[in-house]
Amino acid sequence: MAGNSFGKILRLTSFGESHGAVVGGVLDGFPAGIEIDINFIQAELDKRKPAQSEFVSQRSETDKIEILSGIFKGKSLGTPIGFIIRNKDSQSKDYDHLEQVYRPSHADYTYEMKYGIRDHRGGGRSSARETVSRVVAGAFAKIFLKTKGIDVNAYVVRIGNVSTQRDYRDLDFNDIEKSPIRCPDAKVENKMLELIKKTATEGDSLGGTIFCVIKGVPAGLGEPVFDKLNAELAKAVMSINAVKGFEIGSGFSSAKMKGSEHNDIFESTEDGISTKTNNSGGIQGGISNGEDIYFRAAFKPVATIMKDQKTVDNKGITVNLKGKGRHDVTVVPRAVPIVEAMAALTIADYLLQNLSSKL
């Protein structure tokens, strides 16, 4: 039932199959009169595009955004912002042998069960290519957030069994984009790169974890009960392909803690009320408390591998599947801008929702 939209007031509706003509979206509810820097949006989009380095997929899309509506003389009109990105380098023939085959841990089988029909080329609608629209919409959201002094940053903290333990407050976020795999901890980054290379030679793939922090969110943002800010962030991030886990603040480690350890003590500072610790991850009772909001998302390894696998076709007959096509060893570095985009869209929507809390 219309599962292709995200947000209530600021609302993205996305469309497009991986090997169709375009992927695109409509961003409705974006406030009027905000200056839009198209170059910034293109730059955000460039962050997720394939073939940025030897470490990611070799599909070479130019991924150039075309804005179709909603912008006039460089400013938002308040009307829906339509946009498309053309699919230029889709080599659909690579998928001919998969028309009747259900690839392991892909969505081929489930889409067929739901719809009775599917576009098998490149995964069709289930492809991560769909996230192009998220990044574009997220870039618009970031532009809006910037006018409110809010800043979203994500980076890679784990690839396979290699992870950084450094606190986000000790890292320089300018180092994120300098790293080909978006890990700002240089020592760990090197180990990750080695692991990726090694895994590539094995024809295998890797998962990982992304950390995201949102700074500058004022206290009082969020909705009670079902639409808690953390709940909507969870949905936003869990809707990204390959995400299997989400935790905010102390997350799963909170289950092992005692109340006296976990409670974030309030104190008065020059800037007003704040908390000594931030196990809450900036959200209490579903509403922001003015501290940094931070969370982690776990990505499973890419399902497409270069190793032979057994599977079945749509008649239930066992077939051998040989790895073909162009694929990432790990999607995690490319998923960083997607995580940021979903976080930015969520916060922007909640800022608008919050306008009616009290008048």
At residue 169, the 3 state secondary structure works out as helix
Residue 45 Ramachandran class (φ > 0 left, ψ -120 to 50 alpha, else beta)? alpha
Which of 160, 184, 333, 337 is the binder for its own copies (CB under 8 A)? 160
CB-based contacts of 162, cutoff 8 Å, min separation 6:
188, 191, 192, 195
| Range 103-122, binding its own copies (CB under 8 A) | 104-107, 109-111, 113-119
Tell me whether residue 94 or residue 223 sits nearer to its own copies (CB atom): 223
| Range 5-24, binding its own copies (CB under 8 A) | 5-6, 8-17, 20-24
Number of residues that bind its own copies (CB under 8 A): 155
User: How many other CB atoms are found less than 10 A from the CB of residue 334?
Assistant: 22
- Could you tell me the smallest distance in angstroms from the CB atom of residue 231 to its own copies? 4
DSSP state of 217: P
- Which among 259, 246, 331, 261 is positioned nearest to 293, based on CA atoms? 246
| Range 212-231, binding its own copies (CB under 8 A) | 218-228, 230-231
At residue 155, the 3 state secondary structure works out as strand
Q: What is the torsion angle, in degrees rounded to the nearest 10, for the CA atoms of residue 121, residue 125, residue 131 and residue 136? A: 110
- Could you tell me the smallest distance in angstroms from the CB atom of residue 174 to its own copies? 25
Among the listed ranges 41-49, 164-172, 173-181, 204-212, the one in contact with its own copies (CB under 8 A) is 204-212
Q: Does 294 bind its own copies (CB under 8 A)?
A: no
**Distances, alpha carbon 182 to alpha carbons 59, 143, 150, 186, 211, in Å:** 20, 22, 21, 10, 11
Which of 88, 178, 257, 324 is the binder for its own copies (CB under 8 A)? 257
| Range 315-344, binding its own copies (CB under 8 A) | 316-318
| Range 40-99, binding its own copies (CB under 8 A) | 66, 68-70, 72, 75-82, 84
Among the listed ranges 41-49, 53-61, 164-172, 294-302, the one in contact with its own copies (CB under 8 A) is 294-302
Which of 40, 50, 173, 207 is the binder for its own copies (CB under 8 A)? 207
| Under 8 Å between Cβ of 209 and 305 | no
- Could you tell me the smallest distance in angstroms from the CB atom of residue 226 to its own copies? 4
R_g (Cα) of the chain, nearest Å: 21
Which of 40, 92, 263, 325 is the binder for its own copies (CB under 8 A)? 263
- Which among 212, 206, 217 is positioned nearest to 251, based on CA atoms? 212
Binding mask 126-145 for its own copies (x = CB under 8 A): x---x---------------
